[in-house]
Amino acid sequence: MKFLKFCSVLLTLSWLSLANGAMADNNGEVLYNQYCSVCHGVIGQGDDRWPGLNDTGDMTAPPHNEKGHTWRHSSDDLVKMTLMGYRDPYNATEILTMPAYEGLLTEHQVLSIIEHIKSWWTPDQIENQRKLNQ
């Protein structure tokens, strides 16, 4: 009887740690900090030089907060830009200044990152972006 109880505790514990792992995998804030903050800033403030260019004449990382224009894109477009990468046609080099995350992040994970980014937008920006998604 004691042994059975022990097993059920063990099962519960392993289930809990699995559930926790899955949640961390899909936590927009954790993922943003891991994959995006180095260029776009921990609080979405963007590169210090933005909207200026970097040393090679390419666009610097724009802010994702209320000062940026991220909210002017539908969530579908934001997912596409993140998975496929992006470069402004006027950049001096041909490299994807915004790297492609396909294979590293799932669409679901990018959507959680976008949810985190939305926490920096004004209520008006959130409402306007919501309309783009319809």
CA dihedral for 52, 93, 71, 29, sign (positive or negative): negative
Among 39, 53, 83, 111, binds ligand HEC (CB under 6 A): 39
Among 88, 107, 124, 127, binds ligand HEC (CB under 6 A): 88
b/e burial code for range 44-60 (CB count within 10 A of at least 16 → b): bbbbeebeeebeeebbb
State yes or no: residue 100 binds ligand HEC (CB under 6 A).
no
State yes or no: residue 116 binds ligand HEC (CB under 6 A).
no
User: Would you call the peptide bond into 123 cis, given omega within 30 degrees of 0 as the criterion?
Assistant: no
Binding residues for ligand HEC, rule: CB under 6 A, are: 35-36, 38-40, 59-62, 64, 68-70, 73, 78, 81-82, 86-88, 91, 97-99, 101, 113
